[in-house]
């Protein structure tokens, strides 16, 4: 498989009132052609910050170091103007909230058209046919009617499909989907996730699928990164991660899913309230922490197809 994206030593933070807060700490990962890579982690762990860093869409008060290599170019080093040929074209992005991501005052056709027609080359009939085929691809019924409607005339599921159509309109090599299904009901979540997989199969794009939902991500991804407090604490193939999770945080996430499936009560105790300074980011929750976990942050150590940042697994 061809590597299409390489994120190396990515560090991102924000500056508020002259205070720097580090949000992503030395993030390293690759994405391959025709691969779906899941990123999971709780709220605030830095999932969206990774997505936004890739296309340099971070807020003004941010700083970013490291490399985001795509087609032999470090995207982090590009100027705004240079990024235009990547954003929405070579790299498509689907955001969380389908209503606020669409322009409420523009009919669907014009929003779709913007994604694939260059301003100087408008051929309306060709654009209409392409827009219809995109709606068809994302499973929208009555595409002729839908094309001339406004976003508020469509259901949440349809709007999410339209966002996917916009994201794939320019045949991107990478699609980044940041919580694309979190506002939808369970059946629609599965439909939309399957739709992304179909798109991947047809276009060979690499997909980065971000979600809180480890069960959903496991169902549709080839590989998973588990984030905790701005660090990747474990990454591996879905099978390895589900059958032999090594990090206590991943183990806790999987136990939570099992408990929900078995309708058992959940006890998510915070075992240790010490705030880590130099130690492991998971220290304050870990039930098996040792002295070394307070002293030193573990780095990501790899074995075949699986890596984990945990002193305890190093010991074993
Ligand atoms: N513009 C900003 N200024 C300061 N801090 C920010 C800014 N944007 C994000 N952050 C902080 O960065 C951290 C990571 O945020 P991020 O949105 O990446 O988390 P997330 O994992 O996507 O969470 P969620 O699951 O809730 O979407 C959070 O602590 C957040 O408060
Ligand atoms: Mg987010």
Q: Confirm or reject: Cβ of 250 under 6 Å from ligand 1.
A: no
Q: Confirm or reject: Cβ of 47 under 6 Å from ligand 1.
A: yes
Q: Confirm or reject: Cβ of 20 under 6 Å from ligand 1.
A: no
Of 214, 203, 204, the closest CA to residue 247 belongs to 214
Predicted confidence at residue 190, as pLDDT, reads 82
Q: What is the pTM of this model?
A: 0.88
Q: Confirm or reject: Cβ of 19 under 6 Å from ligand 1.
A: no
Beta strand 206-211 with 174-178 is parallel
| Residue closest by Cα to atom 5 of ligand 1 | 14
Judged by its nearest atom, the ligand closest to the C-alpha of residue 40 is 1
Q: Confirm or reject: Cβ of 49 under 6 Å from ligand 1.
A: yes
Which residues of the chain are modeled with pLDDT < 70?
A: 98-99, 118-121, 260-261, 263-277, 314-316
Judged by its nearest atom, the ligand closest to the C-alpha of residue 178 is 2
pLDDT digits (tens, 9 = 90+) for 1-54: 799 999 999 999 999 999 999 999 999 999 999 999 999 999 999 999 999 999
Domains defined along the chain, listed by start: 3-90+170-315 (3.40.50.300)
Rounded to an integer, what distance in angstroms lies between the CA atom of residue 266 and that of residue 134? 43
Measured in angstroms, how far is the CA atom of residue 142 from the centroid of ligand 2?
33
H helical segments located in 29-185: 47-54, 80-83, 98-101, 108-116, 124-137, 143-147, 156-168
Predicted confidence at residue 120, as pLDDT, reads 56
């Amino acid at each position: 498989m061809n590597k299409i994206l390489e994120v190396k030593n990515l560090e991102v933070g924000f500056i508020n009132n002259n205070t720097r807060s580090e949000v992503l700490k030395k993030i390293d990962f690759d994405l391959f052609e025709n691969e779906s890579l899941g990123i999971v982690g709780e709220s605030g762990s830095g999932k969206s910050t990774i997505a936004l860093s890739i296309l340099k869409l971070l807020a003004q008060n941010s700083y970013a170091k490291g490399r985001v290599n795509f087609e032999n170019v470090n995207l982090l080093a590009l100027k705004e103007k240079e990024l235009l040929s990547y954003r929405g074209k070579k790299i498509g992005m689907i955001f969380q909230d389908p209503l606020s991501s669409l322009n409420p005052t523009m009919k669907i056709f014009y929003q779709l058209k913007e994604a694939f027609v260059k301003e100087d080359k408008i051929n309306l009939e060709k654009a209409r046919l392409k827009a219809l085929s995109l709606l068809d691809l994302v499973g929208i019924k009555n595409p002729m009617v839908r094309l001339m409607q406004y976003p508020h005339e469509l259901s949440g599921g349809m709007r999410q499909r339209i966002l996917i159509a916009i994201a794939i309109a320019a045949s991107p090599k990478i699609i980044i989907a940041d919580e694309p299904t979190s506002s939808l009901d369970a059946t629609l979540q599965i439909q939309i996730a399957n739709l992304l997989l179909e798109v991947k199969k047809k276009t060979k794009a690499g997909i980065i699928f971000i979600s809180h939902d480890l069960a959903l991500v496991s169902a549709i991804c080839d590989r998973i990164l588990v984030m905790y407090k701005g660090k990747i604490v474990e990454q591996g193939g879905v099978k390895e991660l589900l059958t032999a999770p090594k990090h206590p945080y991943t183990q806790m996430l999987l136990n939570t899913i099992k408990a929900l499936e078995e309708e058992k009560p959940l006890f998510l105790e915070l075992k240790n309230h010490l705030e880590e300074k130099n130690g492991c980011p998971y220290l304050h929750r870990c039930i098996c922490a040792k002295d070394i976990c307070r002293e030193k942050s573990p780095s990501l150590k790899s074995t075949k197809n699986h890596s984990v940042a945990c002193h305890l697994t190093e010991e074993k």
